[in-house]
Structure 1
Amino acid sequence: MDFGLTTCQQVITSFNSIPSVSVLNATYLTNGTYIALPDLVPSCVSNGSKSANATNDLCRIVLNITTSASSTNRIEAWLPDDWNGRFLATGNGGIGGCIDYKNLQHGAGLGFATFGTNGGHDGQTGFEFFLNQNENVNDFGYRAIHAEAVTGKQVVETYYGRNASYNYYSGCSTGGRQGYEEAILYPEDFDGILMGSMGVDWLHVVASKGILVHRLGWPDLDSPSYVTAAQWSAIVEAQIKILDPLDGVTDGIIDNPTLHNIDPSIFACGTGILNSSVCLTGAQVNTVQEIYQPLANSSGHIVYPRFDLGADTSVFSVNTRIANGTTVPELDYTVLTDYWRGAVYNSSTWTPLNFTTADMDFAVNLNSGGINIAGGSSHDVSAYHARGGKLLAYHGRADETVTSSISSRTFQRTAEALHLTLDEMHDFFRLFYIPGMGHCSGGNGAWSVGQPTVDRPAGAQFNDTQHNILLALVAWVEDGSAPQSLVGTKFEGDQLQNGIVEAQRTHCVYPNASRWNGEGDTKKAESWTCMLDGGE
């Protein structure tokens, strides 16, 4: 079948015949076409631009899926003319509400029939779409990706005249949670699942920000134990300076922060580590000590690993705003406020000003929309494992939002739940840690491994199984070629499109980690080898 303008326009009637689906529009686009997105809500706008670009000659279809009597999901399908025969669904970030156009552009550019979802509501901030909207909570919690998978496969079959040969999923953060939850609840949906910075045990991930900010003494900004945002920047900079050289290479990166501890008393005034404008009092030293402790529930059981040394603390230390010329407490991390207000307490007036462990435990016990099934109440991916599915995960060691130990904990607890050895785990689940990478992308490290960003590295050398983790997953699923290592790239100025390579590094399958060979150029991938890590 030939695809193009005529096919794209003719299929609208066919799509409307799919149960619970209504087509909003279908548009044929040539490669590079500017796509205006005037209805994009402000919290979904990326880099100030309400637009995307077609990354192939493709048919773009926008449609609604009815998921219950009171809820719908909007999905987009980008169906390239030079289809590679594969289906790719994508997830959300934060509290959802935004179609992942980066992933759409990335997948379609590689030839995948690529789909995105709004997760059942519009907006990355706000509580109104959850308030008294239980079905919206269910969509975000467990149903949106499954609905995308079921409908997306029907769209592919209708448009191309045959089913996809293989079905894939890609998501980061909340999207990582959604992928792991798919493996638990709907093991038949995908042959391969790519999970970045996976926010599993999501309620503890989000609640941790409320617990940490209160350990600061917040909202009492005049508390003698309160540590300011400026002090935190200095503390993190000092942590990196102290710990960076211990791996043998001074490059502004702490390879594995779980291997280290720092006594915060060295940041006290008089030690000379921090200057007099940001050094710590005795009370503040105790605060910093508390910040880098794991979280326990009301019964005293550890439920969330400690915050990583060297990671940006803004998720809890940026917690004020200026109102009428006065500094007042306000948590910059809106996910906590919005979700607890709309989906947990169903109260438009609730605030995190008095957030406690009890608020965390209440949400976990309630588990609205089954959101904490993934990596919280369950690690049972046995059905997914039995059908031959593959899980591929990656996580930055400088992740400021989802502490990096979550991924190794998930790997280990999955092994326990399925009673598998390390070799048996590696047959279907592999994890790559990326030193110096922040949340999903960015950072001082060689972080670019083909994850979707605004730009994709130009050149065939970056579109292979060594440099692109999605293509590595494809090779594993379809050819049985399990990824042994990845080559990460750091581009000058993080300019990926036609950028200049600043450094590259080999990244390894957990529990191995890359180590400098002691001889070669540290900015070249071949100078790094995989060795068993000593952390966690």
Structure 2
Amino acid sequence: MVSFTWSIAILAGAIAHQVASSPESCASFCGQTSIPNVTVIASEYLLNGSQITLPGTVESCGGSDLKANITADLCRLVLIVATTPSSEVQIEAWLPDAPSWNGRSLSTGNGGIGGCIDYATIQNGAGLGFASFGTNAGHNGSVGYEFFLNQPEVINDFGHRAIHIEAEVSKELVTQYYGSGASKSYYAGCSTGGRQGFQNAHLYPEDFDGMLLGSPGVDWLHIVASKGVLAHRIGWPDLNSSEYVRPEQWPAIVEAQIKQFDALDGVADGIIDEPTKYRFDPASLACGTGLLNSSLCLSPQQIASVRRAYEPIANTSGHIVYPSFELGSKTDVFSDNQVNGTASLSYTILEDFWRGAIYNDSSWTPDNFSEFDMDFAIQANPGQVNAGETNLASFYQKGGKIISYHGRNDETVTSAVSERFFTGVQSTLNLTMDDIHEFYRLFFLPGMHHCSGGLGAWSIGNAQKYPYDQALLDSEHNALIALVEWVENGTAPEILVGTKYENDLIGSNITAQRTYCPYPMASKWDGVNDTSLAASWKCVSY
């Protein structure tokens, strides 16, 4: 098999003679580049190993003290693209010098309600030789409703347009800067970035050749709405209600689930490998059973509330539209819901998006949120944000490839969403499992939280996580490199090996590794060898 490192070297050697990048060429290019509706607002030539500050960055994106590590000798450009007379997106471009450029481009997405450029993935991409790009998706900041209020075109940018604009601009910019187009175009994003990627594959299938999509927030409006529905199921916002389950009770509830189901996969490691398989009865935590002390145990009314919290969500017509919240996952997204004795959801995306984009009403609050508000949002679908379209036929037919991954301990986007979406694509395209695995492979990572982190061996070259481990830059340990191998060499990823580092510091001492498998195969311990070794985990059928 041709290695990724070798292919980069060959590509770099093949194109090095075409253009010699330098501080002068970077500066002169900014004055010469011409792309419709694009304005270069900043440019600088930067050396590998240096660090830059990003003054003016809004607080919710890291603040004015945010820094970025320069991972190649490169030309950095900041662009403004007018998408309509009333909206624009910001794009960041990191263009490695020609001897280091691998001939490819890498675009990135966002998290939450957008507004922050994904510098982590840009840094990783430039370090691997990609011409790397990021976007703010049409507004600056990941907290707030003001940028959506009375701004339908800004909502369109966030909803469906920004990634397509990024793809188009990046292709033209690469061609003008290097003198030739990218050989292949890639995309990497997690959470909202995963939603953006799947939506782009449906709406604009020619934009990218390969996509790395983590914890994808497809069916985004139901995902966000679920936090309000679940909060109300547990008695919020009436903090004095007999049905209300207090924030401090939830860690004990989750810990009881882990104690009950953890070892059923054969390994007692604090991880429920396949939480969708089990059903939890909170009656076991009733006051008087002795499992929880008197300050944490559940009253009969609270037992009913917890039971409701783990039921799937139905719309006002009675049809199930969102899977159950998964056992063993932190519940903060709906149970962290008071500040100094006053009802207030810590999960601000619900209030921000419904206030600014759904109802266009700055006074709206989620205090009375219900399935009616959820259904109203689904019907309105501002900006086509609810990317749940499973018809990826054009992307499949053109030969595009998708590697998706999802933590089984995801507290924000329940991993069952990815199961449902995968089977939905298979059904829509009427594909056998072998057929769908020709272009779309989904990997579940037990013990991983949302996009990264958790007790499991979660590091697989995740989008939005910097830096990559330089010792594990191969197609088994790094999902982006696996994607390149698949797109360019036809080598589909049969496994991915996840790595757990000491204190979760990538590149530090490795404490465990685990083999992960394309769904519907599952990763199972062989029952004999050291569970911290990847070779001890095998791919088996469900």
Instruction: State whether TM-score is above 0.5.
Output: yes
Equivalent residue runs for 1:443-482 within 5 Å: 443-460=454-471, 462-482=472-492
2:12 equivalent in structure 1: none
CA offsets 1:463-492 (integer angstroms, 9 cap, x no match): 110000011011010011000001000001
Q: Which residue of 1 aligns with 2:362?
A: 348
Deviations 1:364-403 (A, max 9, x none): 000100111x21xx21111111111111100000000000
Of 123, 136, 158, the residue aligned with 2:176 is 158
What residue in structure 1 maps to residue 302 of structure 2?
A: 284
Q: Name the CA distance, whole Å, in 1 between partners of 2:469 and 2:158.
A: 34
Read off the aligned partner of 1:43 and give its amino acid letter.
Answer: S
Deviation of residue 4 (structure 1)?
A: 2.1
**Contact between 2:404 and 2:441, CA under 8 Å: does it hold in 1?**
yes
Is the counterpart of residue 58 in structure 1 residue 74 in structure 2? yes
Give the C-alpha shift of residue 174 in structure 1: 0.4
SS of 2:493's equivalent in the other structure is: coil
**Aligned with residue 44 of structure 2, among 27, 41, 53:** 27
Give the 4+ runs in structure 1 shifted more than 4 A. Answer: none
Classify the secondary structure of the residue corresponding to 1:164: coil
Q: Does 1:424 align with 2:435?
A: yes
Secondary structure at 2:318 match in 1? coil
Paired residue for 2:535? Answer: 526
Partner residue of 2:271?
253
CA distance in 1, matches of 2:303, 2:52: 51
Give the deviation of 1:106 after TM superposition: 1.2
Show the 5 A alignment for 1:327-476.
Answer: 327-372=341-386, 374-375=387-388, 378-460=389-471, 462-476=472-486
Q: Is 1:74–2:90 an aligned residue pair?
A: yes
C-alpha contact 2:190 2:464 (8 A) present in aligned 1: no
Q: Kindly provide the amino acid, as one letter, of the partner of residue 517 in structure 2.
A: C
Deviation at 1:109, TM superposition (A): 1.1
User: Which of 303, 315, 318 is 2:333 aligned to?
Assistant: 315
Question: 1:80 & 1:241 partners in 2: Cα distance?
Answer: 50
What letter matches 2:394 in structure 1?
A
Contact 1:255–1:397, Cα closer than 8 Å, also in 2: yes
Contact kept? 1:503, 1:524, Cα under 8 Å: yes
Cα deviation, 1:288-341, whole Å, max 9, x if unaligned, reads 10000000000000000000000000000001112xxxx100111000000000
Instruction: Compute the RMSD of aligned alpha carbons.
Output: 1.0
Matched, 1:229 2:247: yes
Offset from partner CA, 1:434-483 (integer Å, 9 cap, x none): 000000000000000011455324333x1110000011011010011000
Q: Which moved more, 1:269-278 or 1:284-293?
A: 269-278
Quick one: distance in 1 between partners of 2:125 and 2:40?
A: 22
Which AA in structure 2 matches 1:475? E
State the Cα deviation string for residues 172-191 of structure 1 (Å, max 9, x = none). Answer: 00000000000110000000
The 10-residue stretch of structure 1 (404-413 or 275-284) with the greater mean CA deviation from structure 2 = 275-284
Structure 2 contact 212–463 (Cα < 8 Å) conserved: no
CA distance in 2, matches of 1:423, 1:136: 40
* TM-score, normalisation: structure 1: 0.96
Distance 2:255 2:26 in 1: 53
| 2:154 paired with 1:144 | no
| Structure 2 unaligned residues grouped into runs of 5+ | 1-18
Q: 1:488 aligns with which of 498, 520, 524?
A: 498
Q: Match of 1:52, as an amino acid?
A: A
Q: Is residue 36 of structure 1 aligned with residue 46 of structure 2? A: no
> CA separation in 2, counterparts of 1:256 and 1:482?
24
Residue of structure 2 equivalent to 1:177: 195
Q: Which runs of 5+ in 1 are unaligned?
A: none
How many residues align? The count is 522
Greater shift after overlay, 27-36 or 462-471? 27-36
Matches of 2:70 and 2:407, distance apart in 1 = 29
Q: How far is 1:151 from its partner? A: 0.4
Distance 1:100 1:521 in 2: 37
User: What are the residue-to-residue correspondences of 1:88-103 with 2, within 5 Å?
Assistant: 88-103=106-121
What CA distance in whole angstroms lies between the structure 1 residues aligned with 2:377 and 2:61?
A: 26
Partner Cα separation in structure 2 for residue 217 and residue 285 of structure 1: 11
> Is 1:14–1:158's contact at 8 Å kept on the other side of the alignment?
no
Q: Tell me whether 1:216 sits opposite 2:231 in the alignment.
A: no
Write the letter of the residue equivalent to 1:167: S
Deviations 1:102-157 (A, max 9, x none): 11111111111110000000010000100000000000000000000000111111
Q: 1:277 Cα shift? A: 1.6
1: CA distance between counterparts of 2:401 and 2:45? 33
CA–CA distance in structure 1, aligned partners of residues 32 and 378 of structure 2: 43
Deviations 1:59-93 (A, max 9, x none): 11101001001111000001112011111110010
Q: TM-score, normalised by structure 2?
A: 0.95
Letter of the structure 1 residue corresponding to residue 263 of structure 2? P
Percent identity over the alignment? 57
Q: For 1:407 and 1:472, locate their aligned partners in 2 and report how far apart those are by CA, in whole Å.
A: 20
